[in-house]
C-alpha cells in the first residue's frame, strides 16, 4: 500500500489540476478499479464460506486450518502489484494513456488472444510447473491448499506472479500497440480473470448441468469449480486455465470430472448434530466473523483504526441485518462424528439492553430453536451473550412454549462454573465477587462458600441473595466488605474502571461473564472469559471465537458438544445446574483442557 500510494495521489492530483482536455480518465480510474477488484474478491470469500458452511453443493469436505489462513493472508498483494504495473504502463507505454471508454475491435482482439495464445501458453506453463524441479521450488506453495477458497487462486510465489502477469498482458499489450485498447477491454478482461479464478477455487458447485446440455461445446470453453477442484486433489489432471479444451486435446482431463460435477450439484445442506447460537457484538464485529475478513477472523478480536474508513460498509451491514432479520450460518466444524454449526442472530450487544428489542430477539431465538428441531439437531447451545433471566429466563421460556421439543437446549452454565472454579489458584483462601452477578456467579459463590473459601462482595443485595442459598455453616464464608485487598477477583459485566484501579498490584481478574472486562491495569493479570483449549481432532477451525485465542472455545459452546457426546437427554436451562464435577470430568475425558494462564 505504501508503494502504491504515491501513484494514487499523483493520479488524483493530476486529474483535479489539469485542464479538461489534458485529463486522463483511464489513469484516474485505475485506483477505483483496484478497490472494485478487492470488493469483488471479498464478496466471493464471504459467499464461499457461507455456502460451504451450510454444506449445499460443497465439493471437498476436508478442513481448513489456521496454517492455510496465514499462508493466504496477503491475497491483496497481487492486486497491489498489478496496480503498480498499470500505473507504470499508463505512464510509459505509447498508447497506454487517454484510452477511450469502448472500442469493439479491441474487445474482440482481447477475447481472441486469450482464447488462443493465453490459454495455450498457460496450459503448458502449468504442466511445466508440475515438473518436480519447478513444483518443489514454486508451485507447491499454491497446492498446499487442498481445500481451496477463492483467495487461494492468487497465492503464488512472486516468480509465478510475474509469469502469470506476463501471460495475461499479451492481449492487453497487443491492444495498446495496435491502438485498439479501451477502458472496457482492460477492466473487463481483468474482471473476467478475477471472476473465473474466484469461481474455480470457491469449493462449491454453482454451474448448472443444463447449460452444458443446451450448448454442449460450452464444456470446452468454461471450466467449473468441481473441474478445478480435481486439479487440487489429484494434482496431475485438469491443468487448463479457464477453458478445458486443451485438457481434452492432450488427454489430461480427470475421468471423475463429469461425475463430481453432478454429485456436487445434487448435494444438499447438512443437518447439524449440534448448533451453537451466538450473535454479533459490535457493528465492526461483522469484519471479524468468519464471513468477514478471513485474516481478522483468524486472530482474537481487536478494534482496528481502519474500521472507521469502512463506515459505509459497516452502515450497509447494519441495514442488511435489520432488514434481513434472519439467523444465518457462520461456521461448521467436525468433532469426532458430530457435525457442528454456529448460527448467528443478526442483533448487536447493545440491542440486548433495549426493552423494545427483547420481543424481536426472543422471536429470532425461538425461530432458531424450531429450525434446529425441524432439522433433527440433537443439541442447541444457547451461547447467546447477555441472554440472562430478564430476556428469556436463561432459555426456559422456549421450553415452556414448546414442551415437546426433542432438541435439547443448553445454556452452558454448569461448565462455565467448572472452568472458573478450576481457574482459581489452588492455594486461594479468599476471593472478591465483583460486577453484575448471574446464574453462573451465584453458583460459583455457593460452591466456594461450601468449600470454606471466603467470598467477599461489596453489594448488600448480592450478599443477601447469596446468603439465602447457603446453609448456616457455609454462611460464615460470605462477607460484606468494601475492602479491595483480595488477590483473586471473580468479575462479571459492569466491573468499573474505578474498581479495577483500587485493586492491589498483581491481582488476578477471572471473568465469569461472557464478555471480558476492559483491561485497565498493566500490573495485574487478566484471565480469559470461561473457555477451554480444544483437542486437535476438532476439525475445520480457521477462526477465533471473538476475543479468545486460536483453538480456544468458550465454555458455553463446549457445553453443547459435551451434551451430545455424553448423550445427556435433558435440557440445561432456567435455574437447572448439572453436577459440576461430572461436567468437568467429562470435558477432560473428551480432550478439552484449560488454556495457559495469561501474562500481565
pLDDT in tens, 151-173: 999 999 999 999 999 999 999 99
Amino acid 349: pLDDT: 83
Q: Which of 81-95, 215-229, 466-480 has the lowest mean pLDDT?
A: 466-480
Q: Which residue, among 145, 173, 171, 6, has the nearest Cα to 75 in the 3D structure?
A: 145
Mean pLDDT of all residues in 227-251: 97
Amino acid 391: pLDDT: 74
Tell me the three cell numbers of residue 516. Answer: 471480558
pLDDT greater than 90 at residue 249 = yes
pLDDT greater than 70 at residue 599 = no
Strands 408-410, 478-480: pairing kind:
unpaired
Burial 562-582 (b: 16+ CB within 10 A, else e): bbbbeebeebbbbebbbebee
Which residues face 455 on adjacent strands? 431, 478
Long-range contacts of residues 475-479, Cβ cutoff 8 Å, at least 24 apart: 475/449, 477/448, 477/449, 477/450, 477/452, 477/453, 478/445, 478/449, 478/454, 479/454, 479/455
CB 559 within 8 A of CB 381: yes
Sign of the CA dihedral running 51, 43, 542, 553? negative
Mean pLDDT of all residues in 224-232: 98
Which residues neighbour 276 within 8 Å (Cβ) at sequence distance 6 or greater? 340, 341, 342, 343, 381, 383, 556, 557, 560
Amino acid 388: pLDDT: 55
pLDDT, tens digit, 9 for 90 and up, residues 343-386: 999 888 888 778 888 888 889 999 999 999 999 999 999 875 44
Mean pLDDT of all residues in 470-492: 92
CB 175 within 8 A of CB 169: no
pLDDT tier at 469 (50, 70, 90 boundaries)? confident
Mean pLDDT of all residues in 321-339: 89
Mean pLDDT of all residues in 14-40: 95
CB 510 within 8 A of CB 454: no
Which residues face 204 on adjacent strands? 58
Mean pLDDT of all residues in 195-204: 98
Tell me the three cell numbers of residue 450. Answer: 461450601
CA 313 remoteness from chain centre: 17
pLDDT greater than 80 at residue 321 = no
pLDDT greater than 90 at residue 264 = yes
Q: What percent of the chain has pLDDT over 90?
A: 83
Mean pLDDT of all residues in 434-443: 91
CB 478 within 8 A of CB 459: no
Mean pLDDT of all residues in 67-72: 96
309: Cα within 13 Å, side-chain hemisphere: 3
Amino acid 305: pLDDT: 86
Amino acid 386: pLDDT: 45
Q: Can you give the pTM of this predicted structure?
A: 0.93
Amino acid 390: pLDDT: 65
Mean pLDDT of all residues in 515-523: 92
d(CA 558, CA 276): 9
* Arithmetic mean of pLDDT over the chain: 94
Mean pLDDT of all residues in 97-120: 97
pLDDT, tens digit, 9 for 90 and up, residues 569-587: 999 988 889 999 999 999 9
Amino acid 384: pLDDT: 59
Amino acid 389: pLDDT: 61
Q: Which of 346-360, 392-406, 457-471, 551-565 has the lowest mean pLDDT?
A: 346-360
CB 474 within 8 A of CB 451: no
pLDDT greater than 70 at residue 18 = yes
pLDDT greater than 80 at residue 181 = yes
CB 412 within 8 A of CB 559: yes
3-state secondary structure (DSSP) of residue 190: helix
Amino acid at each position: 500500500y505504501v508503494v502504491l500510494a504515491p501513484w494514487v495521489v499523483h493520479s488524483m492530483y493530476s486529474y483535479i489540476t489539469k485542464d479538461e482536455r489534458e485529463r486522463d480518465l483511464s489513469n484516474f480510474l485505475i485506483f477505483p478499479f483496484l478497490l472494485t477488484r478487492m470488493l469483488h474478491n471479498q464478496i466471493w470469500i464471504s459467499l464461499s464460506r457461507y455456502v460451504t458452511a451450510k454444506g449445499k453443493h460443497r465439493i471437498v469436505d476436508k478442513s481448513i486450518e489456521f496454517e492455510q489462513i496465514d499462508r493466504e493472508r496477503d491475497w491483496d498483494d497481487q492486486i497491489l502489484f498489478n496496480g503498480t504495473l498499470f500505473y507504470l504502463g499508463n505512464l510509459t507505454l505509447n498508447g497506454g494513456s487517454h484510452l477511450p471508454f469502448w472500442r469493439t475491435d479491441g474487445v474482440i482482439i482481447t477475447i481472441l488472444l486469450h482464447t488462443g495464445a493465453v490459454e495455450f501458453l498457460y496450459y503448458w506453463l502449468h504442466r511445466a510447473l508440475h515438473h518436480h524441479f519447478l513444483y518443489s521450488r514454486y508451485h507447491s506453495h499454491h497446492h498446499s491448499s487442498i481445500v481451496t477458497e477463492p483467495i487461494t487462486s492468487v497465492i503464488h510465489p512472486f516468480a509465478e506472479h510475474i509469469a502469470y502477469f506476463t501471460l495475461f498482458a499479451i492481449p492487453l499489450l497487443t491492444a495498446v500497440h495496435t491502438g485498439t485498447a479501451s477502458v472496457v477491454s482492460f477492466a473487463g478482461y481483468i474482471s473476467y480473470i478475477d471472476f473465473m479464478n474466484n469461481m474455480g477455487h470457491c469449493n462449491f458447485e454453482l454451474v448448472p448441468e443444463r447449460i452444458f446440455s443446451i450448448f454442449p461445446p460450452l464444456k470446452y470453453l468454461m471450466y467449473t469449480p468441481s473441474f478445478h477442484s480435481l486439479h487440487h486433489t489429484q494434482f496431475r489432471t485438469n491443468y487448463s486455465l479457464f477453458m478445458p479444451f486443451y485438457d481434452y486435446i492432450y488427454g489430461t482431463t480427470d475421468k471423475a470430472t463429469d461425475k463430481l460435477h453432478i454429485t456436487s450439484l445434487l448435494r444438499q445442506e447438512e443437518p447439524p448434530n449440534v448448533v451453537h447460537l451466538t450473535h454479533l457484538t459490535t457493528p465492526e464485529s461483522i469484519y471479524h466473523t468468519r464471513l468477514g475478513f478471513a485474516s481478522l477472523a483468524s486472530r482474537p478480536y481487536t478494534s482496528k483504526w481502519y474500521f472507521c474508513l469502512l463506515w459505509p460498509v459497516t452502515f450497509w451491514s447494519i441495514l442488511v441485518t435489520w432488514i434481513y432479520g434472519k439467523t444465518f450460518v457462520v461456521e461448521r466444524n467436525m468433532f469426532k462424528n458430530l457435525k457442528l454449526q454456529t448460527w448467528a442472530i443478526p442483533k448487536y450487544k447493545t440491542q440486548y439492553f433495549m426493552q423494545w428489542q427483547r420481543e424481536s430477539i426472543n422471536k429470532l431465538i425461538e425461530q432458531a430453536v424450531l429450525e434446529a428441531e425441524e432439522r433433527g439437531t440433537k443439541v442447541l447451545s444457547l451461547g447467546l451473550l447477555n441472554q440472562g433471566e430478564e430476556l428469556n429466563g436463561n432459555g426456559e421460556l422456549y421450553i415452556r412454549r414448546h414442551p415437546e421439543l426433542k432438541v435439547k437446549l443448553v445454556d452452558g452454565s454448569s461448565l462455565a462454573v467448572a472452568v472458573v472454579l478450576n481457574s482459581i489458584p489452588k492455594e486461594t483462601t479468599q476471593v472478591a465477587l465483583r460486577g453484575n452477578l448471574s446464574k453462573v456467579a451465584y453458583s460459583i459463590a455457593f460452591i466456594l462458600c461450601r468449600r470454606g473459601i471466603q467470598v467477599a462482595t461489596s453489594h448488600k443485595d448480592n450478599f443477601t441473595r447469596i446468603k439465602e442459598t447457603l446453609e448456616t455453616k457455609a454462611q460464615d464464608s460470605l462477607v460484606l466488605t468494601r475492602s479491595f485487598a483480595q488477590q483473586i477477583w471473580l468479575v462479571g459485566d459492569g466491573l468499573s474502571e474505578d474498581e479495577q484501579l483500587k485493586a492491589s498490584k498483581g491481582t488476578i481478574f477471572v471473568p465469569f461473564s461472557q464478555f471480558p472486562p476492559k483491561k485497565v491495569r498493566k500490573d495485574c493479570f487478566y484471565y480469559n472469559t470461561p473457555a477451554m483449549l480444544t483437542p486437535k481432532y476438532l476439525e475445520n477451525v480457521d477462526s477465533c471465537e471473538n476475543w479468545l485465542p486460536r483453538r480456544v472455545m468458550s465454555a458455553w459452546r463446549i457445553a453443547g458438544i459435551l451434551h451430545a457426546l455424553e448423550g445427556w437427554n435433558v435440557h440445561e436451562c432456567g435455574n437447572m445446574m448439572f453436577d459440576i464435577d461430572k461436567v468437568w470430568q467429562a470435558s477432560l475425558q473428551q480432550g478439552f483442557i484449560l488454556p495457559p494462564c495469561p501474562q500481565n
